[in-house]
Structure 1
Amino acid sequence: MMKKIILTVLLAFSALSLHAEESKPVHILLTTSMGDIKMELYPDKAPKSVTNFSNYVKAKHYDGLVFHRVIKGFMIQAGGFNEYMSPREPSGRPVRNEAYNGLKNVRGSVAMARTNDPDSAMAQFFINSVDNHFLDRSGQNAGYTVFGKVTEGMDVVDKISAVPTGQVGPYGDVPRKPIHIVSARIIGDE
């Protein structure tokens, strides 16, 4: 009887430890040609989005890509194109929208980019440079999934947000001088 109680307690503790490990924030270092941006991701609030983003980081998908869409007073977006505006195709499946998680599109928040289909987010992401509450889920608006925030480097986000932009082929709001993501790494995951 005592062995059964001890085993039950150990199994419960293991399950709690595993859940606690899964819900710990994930820390990302985004090294860009304009400086470093550190981000903290929240798997307890947006587990599918954090897992998806982390998998792209581990696969080095973001290395060598650029911030391809920059709108001053709105956001900076990356994750899909190189400096020639050639797409780097995502390798995963679309992620189900998690905009119902309580996190808001405020200055410094990191969110998944998507098409008009709420469940179409893949590799592209954006960092809000101002509060963008109209991107939050409300009423019929499916919202954009916030899955993290910038913890260091908002000065870099602001510098990127202020660069001159123009048209490249069919794409607008493209920085005139490419802003590269040199590397994206999970901090502590060496």
Structure 2
Amino acid sequence: MPNVRIETNKGSFEIALDEQRAPKSVANFLAYVDAQQYDGTIFHRVIPNFMAQGGGFDGAYSKRSTNSPVQNEADNGLKNRRGTVAMARTSDPHSATSQFFVNVADNDFLDHRSKSPEGWGYTVFGTVVSGMETIDAIVAERTGSGGPFAKDAPLQQVVIHSARRL
């Protein structure tokens, strides 16, 4: 499994990617890593006892350009448990692009239940193997409005300095 180290202004963490069970999502994530697309993006949505989401906006809350959406692989058997990393998406199950989130709780309601719009779930494609304390520090940040977001944005921005393959 390839690993990626993400350096932020709150510390770093390392993700082990599961190419076997989520090949399309891993290839998609690594394409952004290799293009250094995540450098300078922020964690724009953090919710204690839920998750920390980033990878789509820069510090001015400008949306980064993205590649084509990736096919949802949430039916791969991986579950949205604390420490797992999943693809963020819109209400369209197959709309994930660059944004990802780290689960800070067991979020069973995000798991795949059926191949229907309501049941697809969110694709888990990796696990935090070191630095979970950094993620916990990120979700402990005070939040409020920021950019286009009315709530859940860290008041002190959490910036991704770099994301690199190990």
1:1-190 residue pairs with structure 2 within 5 A?
25-90=1-66, 92-139=67-114, 140=116, 141-171=119-149, 172-187=151-166
Q: Report deviation, 1:169.
A: 4.2
Q: Larger Cα Rg: Structure 1 or Structure 2?
A: 1
* Separation (CA, whole Å) in 1 of partners of 2:2 and 2:43: 22
> TM-score, with normalisation over the residues of structure 1?
0.84
Mapped contact 2:8–2:158 kept (Cα < 8 A): yes
Identical residues among aligned pairs (%) = 51
Coordinate RMSD, CA, aligned = 0.8
Q: How many residues align?
A: 162
Secondary structure (helix, strand or coil) at the match of 1:184 reads: strand
Q: RCO higher in 1 or 2 (8 Å CA, sep ≥ 6)?
A: 2
Runs of 4+ in structure 1 over 4 Å off: none
Residue 59 of structure 2 aligns with an amino acid whose one-letter code is E
Within 2, Cα distance between the matches of 1:72 and 1:147? Answer: 21
Q: Which runs of 5+ in 1 are unaligned?
A: 1-24
TM-superposition CA deviations, 1:126-151 (whole Å, max 9, x none): 00011001000114411000000000
User: By percentage of residues, which structure has more helix?
Assistant: 1
2: CA distance between counterparts of 1:60 and 1:169?
23
1:3 match: none
Amino acid paired to 1:125: F
Secondary structure in 2 matching 1:51: helix
- Whole-angstrom CA distance in 2 between matches of 1:182 and 1:94: 24
Higher strand residue share: 2
Distance in 1 between residues matched to 2:121 and 2:90, nearest whole Å = 11
Q: 2:40, 2:4 → 1: CA distance? A: 16
